[in-house]
Structure 1
Amino acid sequence: MTAQLATDEAVPNGRIDQSKMRKIATASVIGTTVEWYDLFLFGTASALVFNQVFFPDLPPAVGTILSFLTFAAAYVARTVGAILFGHFGDRLGRKSMLLVSLLTMGAATFLMGLIPDYNTIGVAAPFILLFLRIIQGLALGGEWGGAVLMTVEHAPENKRGWYGSLVQVGVPFGTLLANVAFLIVTASVSQEALLSWGWRVPFIASILLVAVGIYIRLNIEETPSFQQVREQGAKAKLPFVYLMQNYWKQVVLGGIATLSTGSTFTLMVASGMNYGTSEMGFSANMMLWVVLVSCIVALVLIPFFGHLSDRVGRKPIIAAGIIGEVVLAFPFFWLINTGNTAAVFLAYGLMMVAFSANFGPIATFLAELFGSKVRYSGLSISYMLSGLLGSAITPAITVWLLSITGQSDSIAWYVAAAAAASLIALFLLTDNHKRDIDRVEATSAISVGK
């Protein structure tokens, strides 16, 4: 790829003071936490109740697969959302798109809590659920990229990995909150009440988190990189077209390189939970606690590995995490299959360490692949592509593999294969952790393979 250089001039000392940087980082973390809370609330409900609430007349395995396929629908919508929000994010700015995406996600999640069940309105219920799930996906497609750029494009060069990883904390933190919400509900009501109305409470309560996120995001500034694009009149008329003409290799390889983060995390928070409850007989509460504790591990390790990537580069840390996922794929299930509670906690803890090394620096790594002219589009589409290839199909595939083989090793092979593909793609991309992120265009120094 060769791209014509519009300008090599960076924003001179275009970074803000520490107090404002902390405010921006806080706004991004809270926003992504809300978005991922909403997203994984659906994933938790898919594993625990949706097959009975929205697909009750089907065999349990089929109902679970359909529930997870509805879960997957959002990932298709996320890719569309990445193109849509990326277009306006590169044309109008990062801040406005962050507000729109958060409001959209919050509204869809709130309305999910109000959907009548299958026994009330019949087949219309799962279709309404699917529609709102697609809206969720569209919103998240724009949320994540904008939040990453708000921190990475404001951050000092030697701290981009650290600040970018703080946005990533929103994933385990949002998942943690989603699991805490279900733990509280399942501990407070009977199984009958849970299926009737209890599951709705976490969805309706999400509106409170959205309000906090909107309030904070109203008071943040546009990034120096986008200001540079705007001041020079360098905006792309059609960012997606320009992106695919000049950066298609980075988009595709970046998506594949990130694939294993989605498949591994979804394995733990959705597929693993379903496996633990339906195949091993663990209680839903116990599996929720396992996910909760492992998410706490990630909250600590993701920023650690992000900070480490500022010192040694992004690729060595990401590669170590991917290799860890390959190595741990089989032991993860061997430990769960012991039926021992402590072994399950250990399996999740070890896999979360590998995931954190992979996931912590990946947002900044992807952002550094693209010039600021189309960075919102490039970052968002690449990451959402990884979700489509990994997270979207992982729950349904794992249930299907178990149904035809009866062996957990079949899932381990799938996870290991996804990680291997990511490792190959990663090494075909360039680590740009020292590049000038305010360049409107890329130079040949960031071409694939160099």
Structure 2
Amino acid sequence: MMERVPPVEEASDRTAEVVEQEARRRVQRRRVLVSSMLGNVVEYYDFAIYSTAASLVFGKVFFPASNPVAGTLSSFATLAVGYFARPLGGILFGHVGDRVGRKTALLITLIAMAGATLLIGALPGYAQIGIWAPILLVVLRVIQGLAVGGEWGGSVVMNVEHAKAGQRGLMGSLTQSGGALALLVSFGAFNLLEGLDDRAFLAWGWRIPFLATVVMLGVGLYLRFKVEESPVLESARTAATPQPAKAPLWDAVRDRPGSLLIAIGLGLGPFGAYAVLTTFSISYGTEKLGIHRGVMIDALMISSAGLALGIPLFAALSDRIGRKPIFVVAITLMICNSFVVFPLFETRRTPVIILAFVVSVSVLHAASIGLLSAILPELFPTRYRYTAVSVAYQVTSAVSGGLTPLLATVFARPGGPGITAVSVMLAVLCAVSAGCSLTLRETRNVDLAHA
């Protein structure tokens, strides 16, 4: 029996339908890209301005002024609380993202983060409400930590799952670029306040960057409502097997404990180095070395602009030659850089300080942390990918990003072991990441539907 040949009209209709579907996918990829970047700008702007304020303000505004060192330590302790809340946020919103949907989880994280940040900007200081000031600050910081803990994993998973084959590194990295842009915007916001004297800055000036979040919140929500659910997740839901994970975290721990440990270890060095450079180094440079606050913030702004550019460049390169070789080289160089960056600060020369930040942040950090947005989703299957990625990344952030500024402050205080101990700490963390990267399998060609 001869096979039926479809009429020309029917074939033409099918071709038109395919073209229309591809056009729709392109539109959705652009929407996902823009909404993920802006969502991360909002989330990480809010998180970053807290870090900057913790270095410059909170020790004086929210804690008794009788002991400046104790105030700085207490301020960094509240910073660490936010980092420790991030794994819980990864578990909570990862569960929502894997069970209900990526889009729903990301809408909630955006609202929670912006709301907490606005309240911090309106929070009275210790002089006005006493002990309630630091207590409420910690509560709001925990909410920030929960929100950002669910944001990063959801954003990179959405980007990677919407990406075309061979572009996952680039698409995933643009979420990271959003974080870098957020840091740039946050430092820019504080830099605009340079004209204020210390009295005005501490009284009300520092609050302006926090209250400005309301504008970005409105734009971010508008874009996120227009994004469709991940096609990889939708495809998995229509398949007969496997069924969606009822307990995504437990399934990830049971099925792929080795991948989880590697994913956690990969970020220890990059997170630790970045946290120290963007928080501790500001107070160390201004208070210990006598460098003007504006010089340190300018250097961070320049290096953050370079980071926003460097992340997609290295990620796109990883789409061509692989994730592993780039990461191994970058993290090895970061071990060496741990012993170089602080002596460069001690020169107190502005061009040298800027160079130190650019090499550390725009190049080495970009070539390491920027690749994690593709590597981590490629290590885990769809049914618990959001949870596994979020938990791995946020556990790393809590352990390394949350503790290192606090430990660095303790090491560098009068009577402490000194700045060399900070370098040793960072080198050890980078060495752990280097060891994990050597055991990592190449993931750039993994099929996400069968990861």
Contact 2:245 2:384 in 1 (8 A): yes
Asked if residue 358 in structure 1 is aligned to residue 368 in structure 2, the reply is yes
Separation in 2 of the partners of 1:141 and 1:360? 17
From the two aligned structures, give the one with the greater helix fraction.
2
Contact 1:320 1:354 in 2 (8 A): no
Asked if residue 337 in structure 1 is aligned to residue 350 in structure 2, the reply is no
| Aligned 1:254-265 pairs, distance under 5 A | 254-265=263-274
| Aligned 1:19-418 pairs, distance under 5 A | 19-187=27-195, 189-232=196-239, 234-352=243-361, 353-403=363-413, 404-405=415-416, 407-418=418-429
Q: Deviations over 1:259-292 (max 9, x none)?
A: 1121111111101111111111111111111100
Separation in 2 of the partners of 1:125 and 1:317? 45
Separation in 1 of the partners of 2:442 and 2:93? 26
Contact 1:224 1:438 in 2 (8 A): no
TM-score by length of 1: 0.92
**Which amino acid counterpart does residue 217 of structure 1 have in structure 2?**
R
| Partner residue, 1:427 | 438
Stretches of structure 2 that go unaligned for 5 or more consecutive residues are 1-17
Across the aligned residues of Structure 1 and Structure 2, the Cα RMSD in angstroms comes to 1.6
Report the Cα offset of residue 133 of structure 1.
0.1
**Which amino acid counterpart does residue 385 of structure 2 have in structure 1?**
R
Separation in 2 of the partners of 1:47 and 1:318? 30
Contact 2:58 2:75 in 1 (8 A): yes
How many residue pairs get aligned? The number is: 428
**Which amino acid counterpart does residue 155 of structure 1 have in structure 2?**
A
Separation in 2 of the partners of 1:242 and 1:172? 32
**Which amino acid counterpart does residue 60 of structure 1 have in structure 2?**
P
Contact 1:254 1:426 in 2 (8 A): no
SS of residue matched to 1:157: coil
Contact 1:79 1:388 in 2 (8 A): yes
Separation in 1 of the partners of 2:68 and 2:441? 46
Report the Cα offset of residue 34 of structure 1.
0.7
SS of residue matched to 2:449: coil
Report the Cα offset of residue 405 of structure 1.
3.4
Contact 2:46 2:113 in 1 (8 A): yes
Separation in 1 of the partners of 2:108 and 2:443? 30
Report the Cα offset of residue 17 of structure 1.
3.7
Separation in 2 of the partners of 1:58 and 1:321? 43
Contact 2:90 2:146 in 1 (8 A): yes
Report the Cα offset of residue 144 of structure 1.
0.6
Separation in 1 of the partners of 2:179 and 2:418? 29
Moved more, 423-432 or 82-91: 423-432
**Which amino acid counterpart does residue 435 of structure 1 have in structure 2?**
V
Separation in 2 of the partners of 1:273 and 1:175? 14
- The structure showing larger relative contact order (alpha-carbon pairs under 8 Å, at least 6 residues apart) is 1
Separation in 2 of the partners of 1:394 and 1:157? 37
Contact 1:318 1:362 in 2 (8 A): no
Stretches of structure 1 that go unaligned for 5 or more consecutive residues are 1-11, 443-450
**Which amino acid counterpart does residue 99 of structure 1 have in structure 2?**
L
Separation in 2 of the partners of 1:58 and 1:424? 44
Separation in 1 of the partners of 2:63 and 2:135? 11
Greater Rg by CA: 2
Report the Cα offset of residue 362 of structure 1.
1.1
Report the Cα offset of residue 211 of structure 1.
1.1
Identity level (%): 35
| Partner residue, 2:26 | 18
Separation in 2 of the partners of 1:134 and 1:260? 24
Moved more, 422-431 or 198-207: 422-431
